[in-house]
């Protein structure tokens, strides 16, 4: 196997990197690919709780990289989704226990065992970021339509380009009603400002909270709009590059739009 390493990053914290990693990883596993999601936030792990696998951790990435256990022992198999594995972060170390060189070596082993490996990058652009991007073939930049997130995304995009990685943008937590009213940056604005390729638009979705509360993967909840958006991103990553990007729309349909055009509705 000659798998792909994809780093999921954003610069700013709290924009949905972990949710995106878990969801896109799960979606690709549901497509039949062998997927590992790796929590690179050493010292502050949380991909495990988001995926509902927190009770099954024995070994972690630091153990695996340092050779204290086998890769198989550190990779926790998801019981609901075949082919989905989590390599958890260590909670007691700090980010400097790993270095980019070790990650490059470890990643070549990951490539042999998995079709796709997603690195859930910590916030910031320090060692944790360096480690996460060290062996990356591709990058997903997650960004919400807010000035702070866009600015940080721009910084991260610059750093990725400096490493000859061309990132793709996921706009997360879009509130269509706010966009229509002109009170939220649209994805067009964001692409314009960041000059980067778009790979998916994910709208704000209460189901994300439900999913993290329960640890049930978002992409398994049939009614979740965000889950569906992440599934489409996964399919695009998996070669369906022509799959059109759906722009989230405010519910209410044509009549409401008509009324809002004529000022009958705020």
Binding footprint of another protein on the chain (CB under 8 A): 146-147, 150-151, 154-155, 158, 179, 181-186, 189, 192-193, 260-264, 266
Contact 93, 42 (CB under 8 A): yes
45, 100, 111, 127, 235 from 27: Cα distances, Å: 22, 28, 19, 29, 8
Q: Least distance from C-beta 14 to another protein, angstroms?
A: 18
| Residue placing its CB nearer to another protein in the complex, 87 or 179 | 179
DSSP state of 53: -
The residue (of 32 and 258) whose beta carbon lies closer to another protein is 258
Residue 154 Cβ, how far from another protein at the closest point, in Å?
Answer: 5
Do residues 119 and 46 lie in contact, with contact meaning Cβ atoms separated by under 8 Å? Answer: no
Q: Which is nearer to another protein, 87 or 185 (CB)?
A: 185
**Smallest separation, CB 187 to another protein (Å):** 11
**What's the CA gap between 184 and 220, in Å, rounded?**
29
The minimum distance between CB 255 and another protein, in angstroms, equals: 16
| DSSP three-state, residue 256 | helix
- Based on CB atoms, which residue is closest to another protein, 161 or 197? 161
Placement of tokens 């706010």 in the chain: 178
How many CB atoms are closer than 10 A to CB 136? 24
Cβ nearer to another protein, comparing 102 with 189:
189
Kindly state the helix (H) or strand (E) to which residue 169 belongs, with its residue range: strand 167-174
Task: Pick between residue 126 and residue 183 the one whose CB is nearest to another protein.
Answer: 183
Backbone phi, psi, residue 82, to 5°:
-65, 150
């Amino acid at each position: 196997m000659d798998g792909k390493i994809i780093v999921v990053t954003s610069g700013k914290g709290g924009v949905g990197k972990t949710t995106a990693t878990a969801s896109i990883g799960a979606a690709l596993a549901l497509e039949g690919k062998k997927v590992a999601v790796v929590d690179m936030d050493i010292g502050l792990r949380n991909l495990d709780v988001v995926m509902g696998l927190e009770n099954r951790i024995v070994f972690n990435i630091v153990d695996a990289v340092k050779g204290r256990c086998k890769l198989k022992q550190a990779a926790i198999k998801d019981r609901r989704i075949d082919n989905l594995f989590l390599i958890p972060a260590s909670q007691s170390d700090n980010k400097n226990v790993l270095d980019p060189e070790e990650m490059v070596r470890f990643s070549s082993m990951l490539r042999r065992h998995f079709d796709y490996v997603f690195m859930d990058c910590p916030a910031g652009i320090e060692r944790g970021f360096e480690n996460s991007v060290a062996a990356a073939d591709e990058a997903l930049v997650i960004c919400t339509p807010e000035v702070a997130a866009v600015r940080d995304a721009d910084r991260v995009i610059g750093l990725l380009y400096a490493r000859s990685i061309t990132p793709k943008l996921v706009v997360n937590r879009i509130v269509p009603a706010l966009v229509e009213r002109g009170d939220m940056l649209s994805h067009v604005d964001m692409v314009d400002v960041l000059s980067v390729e778009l790979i998916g638009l994910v709208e704000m979705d209460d189901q994300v909270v439900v999913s993290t509360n329960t640890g049930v993967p978002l992409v398994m909840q049939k009614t979740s709009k965000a889950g569906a958006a992440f599934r489409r991103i996964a399919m695009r990553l998996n070669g369906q590059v022509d799959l059109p990007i759906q722009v989230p729309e405010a519910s209410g349909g044509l009549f409401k739009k008509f009324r809002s055009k004529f000022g009958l509705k705020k």
